[in-house]
Structure 1
Amino acid sequence: MEGVTFEKIIEVWSSGGTVMYPLFFLACLLYVQAFQLMLYVRRSSLQKRNEFLWGEWVLFPERAKGRVAEIIRYTQTDISSAKQIRNRFDEVRMALLNLVDRRVRFINTLVATAPLLGLLGTVIGMLQTFLGLATSAGGETAGVVASGISEALLTTLTGLIIALPGLFIVMIIQRQKHSLEANIMRLECLTLSELKID
């Protein structure tokens, strides 16, 4: 079997028609945004391997490390009541999680757009097929039908190939976000119980 060359890829790509260019742009935008968001959530996560030290860190913030240290110091600076601590943790949640939610909505929109663009390519390909059938002579009919159907199916396939991995990436990001949210809640509960502030 011959190896796949760059020229063959370009030939197959261009046979999909003009809709393949927006699909390519959409795929680039989708995956760049998704991987950036995955890295952001991973960097924002609280290190679970130090979770057994969180109670000690709440009492002695100078010993804390990493993202947990930043949150502990922020939530304990100039506070005098449990309500202030809760408000600070709400601010932390808003700062970390609202950005993730907004970007996940944007990525979900891109994921939903990919199959629709593929469907647009299908409609355009079928219209070109029918237009070609109406204007072609008898011997050219098979070639016109084949190229139109090829264009129609290729764009649909490309739209689905772009969208399906995007869905899985969004699920991974959502799982990481829920883990981060649960860890912030656990740190808040630890802070309130260890400091015993009314």
Structure 2
Amino acid sequence: MGILDKVLGNSGPIGVCLIFLWILSIGVIIERTLFWFFLWTRRNPIREARIIRFVKEGRYGEACKLAYKSKDIFIRVFKYLLPNMPSAKEMDNVIAIALDKEFSRSHSFLRILNACAVIAPALGLLGTITGLIKAFGTMSQTVDMSAIAEGISEAMTTTFLGLVVAVVNLAASHFFGGIADRALSKIESRLNEFKLATFSR
């Protein structure tokens, strides 16, 4: 707590806002890490292959039961298709809807990270300006170097905090966005495989 108190003391109210953004972004990063960890550990390629095989054999009831038992994202998308098998013309629309729903789920909270990455450096710059105003305002009234240093310290601390928060959020947003895009690519591949298995019989 000593370091935090020192940082807050040096950065003023702008620093409080930046610390809030930092805590918010760390919460989102933890949530997304747990989301993808549990999602990937629940993967069941064997069950995926069995569902595709059942579809090829026309055993839709058994394929549907397997899909509804699974928490695997790559199997869950089959639930959009199996209960009421769409025609070939409707299949593309159903696949698009399934991908859209999974896109929203997999990219959840990334807007918060992007927003923090944009707001943080702006707050850091604002803190720099207010700190310099304080330093120069003090300089015009007194030659007390400790009072001048306080304003400069606020300017430098808020700049540092703003850049740290921005870099961490930007890196996390790109990292989780990349994971989500790769997952959606695999889902789309599975759905196209499902479509091929359905209408090639």
* TM tier relative to shorter chain: 0.7 to 0.9
Assess, with a 3 A threshold, how the Cα gap between structure 1 residues 188 and 101 changes in structure 2: closer, same or farther.
same
Work out the CA distance in 2 between the residues paired with 1:78 and 1:9: 57
* Cα contact 1:16–1:151 (8 A) shared by 2: yes
Q: 2:71 aligns with which of 36, 56, 66?
A: 66
| C-alpha separation in 1, matches of 2:43 and 2:3 | 48
What is the aligned partner in structure 2 of residue 116 from structure 1? 122
Partners of 2:85 and 2:3 in 1: how far apart? 65
Check if 1:171 corresponds to 2:177: no
CA 1:180–1:78: 2 relative to 1, 3 Å:
same
Q: Structure 1: how far apart are the matches of 2:146 and 2:86?
A: 80
Deviation at 1:114, TM superposition (A): 0.8
**Alignment RMSD, CA only?**
2.5
The residue identity in structure 2 corresponding to 1:31 is: I
Helix, strand or coil for the counterpart of 1:77? Answer: coil
Aligned to 1:105: 111
Rounded to whole Å, the distance in 1 between the matches of 2:168 and 2:157 is 17
Count of matched residue positions in the alignment of Structure 1 and Structure 2: 189
Give structure 2 stretches of 5+ with no counterpart: 55-62
Where has structure 1 moved over 6 Å in runs of 4 or more? Answer: none
Unaligned runs of 5+ in 1: 1-5
Deviation, 1:144, is 2.3
Residue in 1 aligned with 2:17?
22
Mapped to 1, the partners of 2:90 and 2:16 lie a distance apart of: 52
Tell me: CA distance 1:120–1:31, structure 2 relative to 1, closer, same or farther (3 Å): same
TM-score normalised by L of structure 2: 0.81
Of the structure 1 ranges 58-67 and 107-116, higher mean CA displacement relative to structure 2 is found in 58-67
Alignment-mate amino acid for residue 18 of structure 1: P
1:57 is aligned to 2:51: yes
Rounded Cα–Cα distance in structure 2 between residues aligned with 1:181 and 1:44: 13
Q: Which one-letter code corresponds to 1:15 in the other structure?
A: N
